[in-house]
Amino acid sequence: MEPAGALPPSCSPAPEAAEPPGSPALPAEERPSASAAQEARRRGPDPQGPAGRGARGGGGRAPARRGCEPGGRARRPRVTVDSSKAKTSLEALKISLRQLRWKEFPFGRRLPCDIYWHGVSFHDNDIFSGQVNKFPGMTEMVRKITLSRAVRTMQYLFPLEYNFYPRSWILPDESSFFEKEIRMMKDRDPSWKPTFIVKPDGGCQGDGIYLIKDPSDIRLTGGLQSRPAVVQEYICKPLLVDKLKFDIRLYVLLKSLEPLEIYIAKDGLSRFCTEPYQEPTLKNLHQVFMHLTNYSLNIHSGNFIHSDNVNTGSKRTFSSILCRLSSKGVDVKKVWSDIISLVIKTIIALTPELKVYYQSDIPAGKPGPTCFQILGFDILLMKNLKPMLLEVNANPSMRIEHEQELSPGVFENVPSPVDEEVKVAVIRDTLRLVDPQKQKKKDIQCQTLEHVSDTKEELLDAGPPDRLEHDANKNTEAGLPSLCLKQVFPKYAKQFNYLRVVDRVAALFIRFLGVKGTTKLGPTGFRTFIRNCKLSNSNFSMASVDILYIDITRRWNSMGIDHKESGMCWQAFVEAFFCLAQKKYKSLPLHEQVASLIDFCEYHLAVLDEKRLVCGRGIVERRNALVTCQTDGLQLTPAAHTSLLNRMATASKLADYRNHQY
Ligand code: ADP
């Protein structure tokens, strides 16, 4: 739906407050709630200015006939949004909805809504249609341990491409490995004096984080078994501004998983430490205001500066930092394109397992909502301007207020202009992008994504956030500013598609999961995978297959991530798959071994599918003639050959592509 402001003011649909309570034209739950009206009154005039006032019937214009535009055309229904579970993002969501003039249901609705806005996770209630602003499994996916594992899988395959994530070890599983590796590295280079940061899994806001100089300093009190953690190489040389360490919170919209669509907000927030930075020494390791950039920690420092100005204070816009760097001659275009690349690669690392969660919660063919999600990427710029990923947040704070201590012990929530500027724009523009009515229009116009992905734009052309461009493009859509979210995928797909190999492994895993609603592969499913892909032979018997399954599954299950289901989890399958690839294609580098095994499996599954298809067709055609179809000895029809040839051509194109890359 085009926001109402696209229509001449007199045609704009009436906002909530203009609907008389109890209007018989609307079902009860469509009537504006008292709280919505109160909220509208509290917020004051519509930020859309004259257009909004016109919509309220002000300025002496005759109100449009209910449900119709002048000329008798039916008015498009307003997009409906259930905000009853929005939690701390409610304030920013309300402002966004008012700007869009969409219909909010603050207490939920009996009828389905177009969009459900959840503050925490996908599983807030049962939804069978529309769109939800959370993906199933995302919270689990971006926990420190799961994220580290997903990125590590990609580091095994593409070490150079994934060097934006600090070297990490998982505790307690890899404690001894961590110790051994560090000892070895120190022996090799005695001048190496590393620092490590220990971060409890599932922690946030700096909770439980501490720095150490030696693996033996890991604190075992509190029980690592009860609270697993990630230990990471500490980035000792961050870029400083005003002598302070800072990080970047960047908002990323994962609009769709299949096909993959990613948008990045043109501006983010920079959160500053409140003590001048010094490289870590045994003396300053514990100084959190010097080493940790978390807002929730630094707000308690006497040095924290609240500022209404986006260029100063302890929380600033990222664009203000880029402006400053640019004035010092830094190539901010390159910084920005490196950040885009980091975001795309990270999402590519997350998508395979997300797809496993997705099919388990929303099995293909069953009614369910589609999903999108705003993610918060925490990025640190190193002194040499290389961006490093710290973590991904599934529920980035969308608060636009902060607590201020008026007098000792007396707190008040006061608006934070910096947060409001960035966060309202992100929510509003996310809604504009997932607008169901625009989506419908798009489908009708057959704007295929393939077309978009054909663009040959270079990543470097992405350019940094440009305030001027942003402002100049105001009024492009219904009086709203130009979108603050910039598409980066499929726009730059050509440069990153070669990294998407693990997605194809996930497709194999999902195919053999069998029973819908599960995320673990049983022994029969694994055997069927081996058989159907023709992976067993005289050197690799089915007995060895069973041993492989039991060994790997037992080890992963003993790590105690998820005991709800038995069977082989996704990460265990990845390990088994890599193991099979190494066995089968000995002399190649790992990513080529894996890609070759995927091609091999996909080929045999395609052959099998064609056989089944032909066999099924044959059975129908020859049922009366009582001809039995022997799958194994079957000759493929020319049609089947064509399809297989196409598949093989795709596989060889992929091989060419990979060769081209390396
Ligand atoms: P949390 O979820 O608790 O905020 P983070 O992973 O974001 O955990 O870490 C908290 C802070 O610690 C970050 O904002 C950053 O300032 C600092 N930090 C985290 N990891 C590193 C690292 N590898 N090197 C340097 N600083 C780090």
| pLDDT tens-place string over residues 208-254 | 999 999 999 998 755 544 579 999 999 999 999 999 999 999 999 99
- CA 123 from chain centre, in angstroms, equals 17
Given ligand 1 and candidates 295, 390, 397, which is best to mutate, with the most ligand atoms within 8 Å of its CB?
Answer: 390
pLDDT band, very low/low/confident/very high, at 261 (cuts 50, 70, 90): very high
Mean pLDDT of 537-557: 94
Q: Which atom of ligand 1 is nearest to the CA of 235?
A: 24
d(CA 205, CA 292): 9
Q: For every residue of 96-163, which 3-state class applies, written as one string? A: HHHHHCCEEECCCCCCCCCEEEECCCCCCCCCCCCEECCCCCHHHHCCHHHHHHHHHHHHHHCCCCCC
Angle 365-368-372 from CA coordinates, rounded to 5°: 115
Let me know how many helices (H) and strands (E) the chain has, helices first. Answer: 21, 19
Query: Which has more pLDDT, 365 or 593?
Result: 593
Residue pLDDT, tens place only, 434-466: 999 887 776 666 444 444 444 445 565 555 544
Indicate the DSSP class of residue 460. G
- For the whole model, what pTM was predicted? 0.81
3-state secondary structure of 406: strand
CA of 198 to the centre of ligand 1 (A): 9
Mean pLDDT of 189-210: 93
pLDDT band, very low/low/confident/very high, at 556 (cuts 50, 70, 90): very high
Q: Is the CB of 395 under 6 A from ligand 1?
A: no
The tokens of 230 are what? 């990630």
Q: Are the C-beta atoms of residues 432 and 116 closer than 8 Å to each other?
A: no
User: Of the candidates 370, 613, 603, 647, which has an alpha carbon nearest to the alpha carbon of residue 508?
Assistant: 603
Given ligand 1 and candidates 144, 151, 197, which is best to mutate, with the most ligand atoms within 8 Å of its CB?
Answer: 197
pLDDT band, very low/low/confident/very high, at 478 (cuts 50, 70, 90): low
Q: Is the CB of 104 under 6 A from ligand 1?
A: no
pLDDT band, very low/low/confident/very high, at 410 (cuts 50, 70, 90): confident
Residue recorded with tokens 């006032």:
53
Averaged pLDDT score across all residues of the chain: 80
Is residue 32 reached through a cis peptide bond, with omega within 30 degrees of 0 on the bond before it?
A: no
The tokens of 407 are what? 């007098």
d(CA 236, CA 654): 39
How does strand 229-233 pair with strand 168-171? antiparallel
CA of 598 to the centre of ligand 1 (A): 36
Residue pLDDT, tens place only, 520-538: 999 999 999 999 999 999 8
**235 Cβ partners below 8 Å, 6+ apart?**
166, 380, 382, 388
Within 10 A of 325 (CB to CB), how many other CB atoms are there?
Answer: 18
Q: Give the whole-number percent of the chain exceeding pLDDT 70.
A: 74
User: Of the candidates 339, 162, 340, 334, which has an alpha carbon nearest to the alpha carbon of residue 262?
Assistant: 340
Write down the pLDDT at residue 633. Answer: 31
* DSSP character string of 28-66: GGGSPPHHHHHHHHHH-S-TTTHHHHHHTT-TTPPPPPT
Q: Are the C-beta atoms of residues 211 and 196 closer than 8 Å to each other?
A: yes
Strand-pair partners of 272: 246
Given ligand 1 and candidates 148, 198, 199, which is best to mutate, with the most ligand atoms within 8 Å of its CB?
Answer: 199
Which residue, by CA, sits nearest to atom 22 of ligand 1? Answer: 234
User: Of the candidates 215, 262, 207, 318, which has an alpha carbon nearest to the alpha carbon of residue 500?
Assistant: 262
